[in-house]
Structure 1
Amino acid sequence: MERVVAQGTFDILHPGHVHYLRDAASMGEELHVIVARSENVTHKPSPIISGPQRVEMVEALEPVDHARLGHPEDIFIPIEEIEPSVIALGHDQHHDVAGIEAALAERGLDCEVVRASGREARPDEILSTGQIIEKILDERA
């Protein structure tokens, strides 16, 4: 069975997340999603929503077969447990593909690292958690 891993913060779900997970699911037969722990999110503000709640929301999405919180210290431990054929990165995620491939090779993990496609926002959409938060603050503060 071809397992795919997608990962992210998934703080406030929006259509961009759904697009990413649909695209990732199309790369294999089973989609596993690793939801980043709040303490491991260092490249942007900490999530607003708790980790367990983010996992519950992601797991409820149609393309997702399994969702779990990431490991608190080693992001590759869940990948070792899942044994995916593909790791699908979001089109705009900050990860370095070559760096991930090197870390996987060091651990003897044989899987492809692929960038998912992006999605253009329609005029009435916001495809960024940060932009959703900004709009709430602007309109409700």
Structure 2
Amino acid sequence: MSERRVVAQGTFDLLHPGHLHYLKEARSMGDELHVIVARRRNVTHKAPPVLDDRQRRDMVAALDVVDDARLGHPDDIFVPIREIDPAVIVLGHDQHHDEDALRDALAARGLDCEVTRASARDPAYDGELLSTGSIIDRIVTERGD
């Protein structure tokens, strides 16, 4: 019997409860969770990550919910997808990817997998930070000169 592999992907800079919610939800959709951590040089849709590639990958890999964490391919985002051969790709609730465009790109490459989006996580309490940007803003406000 084959395992149902799930892929989650992202930058995962400064891990926070929103990341954990995303990864737990993705893991609930299959038997194995494979996480692709974006390389710093490939993050062009927002500010580059603060932490280096290896540190971000190592932090994600250390989470119990994750079966495998790897860095994305430097030139072709579909290389690790082909290697993993997932049943489903789970996008984060706020990731910039267009689901239909991703489905079309997968199909054009002969990659057959479902594409879905994780739910958002509501803050558990007042002041809980659920984004790296919010964490950085608070650091600058409270500790910046």
TM-score category of the 2 structures, normalised to the smaller one: over 0.9
Matched, 1:77 2:90: no
Q: Could you tell me which residue of structure 1 aligns to residue 118 of structure 2?
A: 116
The structure 1 segments of at least 4 consecutive aligned residues displaced by more than 3 Å after TM superposition are none
SS in 1 for 2:135: helix
Structure 1 unaligned runs (5+)?
A: none
Identity of aligned residues (%): 65
Query: Between Structure 1 and Structure 2, how many residues are aligned?
Result: 141
In structure 1, C-alpha distance between the alignment counterparts of 2:68 and 2:21, rounded to whole Å: 17
In structure 1, C-alpha distance between the alignment counterparts of 2:41 and 2:127, rounded to whole Å: 32
In structure 2, C-alpha distance between the alignment counterparts of 1:43 and 1:124, rounded to whole Å: 26
In structure 1, C-alpha distance between the alignment counterparts of 2:119 and 2:137, rounded to whole Å: 25
TM-score, normalization: structure 2? 0.96
Structure 2: which amino acid aligns with 1:56? Answer: D
Structure 2: which amino acid aligns with 1:79? Answer: I
Structure 2 unaligned runs (5+)?
A: none
Residue 62 of structure 1 and its aligned partner are, at CA, apart by 1.3
Q: Could you tell me which residue of structure 1 aligns to residue 4 of structure 2?
A: 2
Q: Could you tell me which residue of structure 2 aligns to residue 37 of structure 1?
A: 39
Matched, 1:140 2:143: yes
For residue 86 of structure 1, the aligned residue among 81, 85, 88 is 88
Structure 2: which amino acid aligns with 1:70? Answer: G
- After superposition, the C-alpha distances for 1:2-58 in whole angstroms (9 at most, x for unaligned) are 000000000000000000000000000000000000011011000000000000000
Residue 124 of structure 1 and its aligned partner are, at CA, apart by 3.4
Q: Could you tell me which residue of structure 2 aligns to residue 12 of structure 1?
A: 14
